[in-house]
Amino acid sequence: MSGSSPFDPSATPRPGGLAPPADLPGSIADLRASGWESVPVAEEMRRNTAKLIAAGETLVPGVLGFEDTVVPQLENAILAGHDIILLGERGQAKTRVIRSMVGLLDEWMPIVAGSEINDDPYNPVSRYALDRVEELGEATPIDWVHRSQRYGEKLATPDTSISDLIGEVDPIKIAEGRYLSDELALHYGLIPRVNRGIFAINELPDLSERIQVGLLNILEERDVQIRGHRIRLPLDITLVATANPEDYTNRGRIITPLKDRFGAQIRTHYPFETTTEVKIMESEADLPTAGVPVTVPKFMKEVVAEISQLARRSSHLNQRSGVSVRLSIANYETLVASAVRRALRTGEPVAVPRISDLSALVPSTQGKIEVEAMEEGHEDEVVAHLVAAATLAVFRRRVTLDDPQAIVAAFHEQVVVHVGDDLPSSAYLAVLADVPELEPPTRKLAGPEAAEAESPALMASALEFLLEGLHLTKRLNKDASGARALYRGRK
């Protein structure tokens, strides 16, 4: 609701669907009597943002890792009443941040009943609403629009037209008998239809310069020409946009006046820490359980997250295109799917991912990274290197061996340990019986959950992670073939 009143409809519980509460005013006269006041949408968002900040609540619920970086800048921009552009590579939650801004609008807003562009009952701008208010005066009926209908979004593409954004003459209305000179013959585009709301443009630099000029004109000058119609539309809109930093800053694909329109330019980023990436994975992933209980050890989650963290620093990958957080989410889902597939085949009661399941991440990784030109054709090797480096990093963080030499010494010539994504957990327990030196660090790594639940699958996962760590720290040799491998002592 664009304004304030004694009853504050923004706090009124909303019944199912988008039907407004029955006790809201139904005419302009009733609206005046209620005490409702019209304010610009920027002021409305400022007021609600101030309430959230004072209450210690976040503007972007569900978005992790931006608490000390992006969110404070966003709060400043909204309090300042600025239009905003978010700059960042793919998969940095830019669109989610923008869509969360809808929550800063009041839940219900009054419009002139029947208006296509959310005309303010006190200050109508369209020909339809002007005529309606002139005819009926204070008895003019009003409708209530939910905040979800006050948000418009457009993905900028080269074929985006002025008619998409601003409007066009409606041939159906002409066929019904209206004249071309009649303003009522116009069909409004996306921007006028979210008047008194938020309009978002994703990948703004992809708009052609001609469309950028039209966009600037309607937002800045409020003067629009549509097929010979010269009309003034004093729209009240908060403009937000997203762009890749390279497109926005280096290639000159934004006309200077439009760039100047944005009062705030906010740089997004990928998660700085592995722990944050893990939290995002846990909250966003849709795990394919297929009816099988799933337990994912912390060290396996960290390995998946660390792969993305290392990929963003890898010289073998094109960093200009970025490495999306979706890589972590897709890899996490794939890892669990591999464990579930094994549990279904072996009949085990619980699915627990292991190191050997990481070989399944190649397909889910290759589609979300872009290797440098010199590495083309070697994507598998690049992914394998990332997986090994991530496993080693997590091993060094998580594992401290009391007597590593005793474990290494236990791998004499006759001791060979086979692992694989298709082996049952019982095969790993047999290894612990044959090489008892491995049992204490394995149980410590598996954690108390393994002891309480007596979970062979958790012990198997911890053992394979331990063996892989010993190999990566050059204490054991490993012979690998796909998801199958064997570990043996170093000669």
Q: Is 440's pLDDT higher than 50?
A: yes
CB of 33 closer than 8 Å to CB of 5: no
Find where tokens 């119609």 sit.
Answer: 229
Rounded mean pLDDT of 230-247? 83
Dihedral angle sign, alpha carbons of residues 450, 451, 455, 456: positive
Q: Return the pLDDT at 11.
A: 38
**pLDDT tens per residue across span 254-306:** 888 888 888 899 999 999 999 999 999 999 999 988 889 999 999 999 999 99
CB of 486 closer than 8 Å to CB of 479: yes
**Residue 408 buriedness (CB in 10 A; 0-12 / 13-18 / 19+):** middle
**pLDDT tens per residue across span 147-206:** 999 999 999 888 888 788 887 766 677 667 666 566 666 778 888 889 999 999 999 988
**φ/ψ bin of 313: left (φ > 0), alpha (ψ from -120 to 50), beta (otherwise):** alpha
Q: Which residue has the higher pLDDT, 463 or 230?
A: 463
What's the rounded Cα separation, in Å, for the pair 152 and 192? 10
CB of 368 closer than 8 Å to CB of 433: no
**Residue 39 buriedness (CB in 10 A; 0-12 / 13-18 / 19+):** middle
Domain 9-267 has CATH 2.40.50.140: no
In the chain, ranges of CATH 3.40.50.300 domains: 9-267
Rounded mean pLDDT of 86-90? 91
pLDDT band for position 326 (50/70/90)?
very high
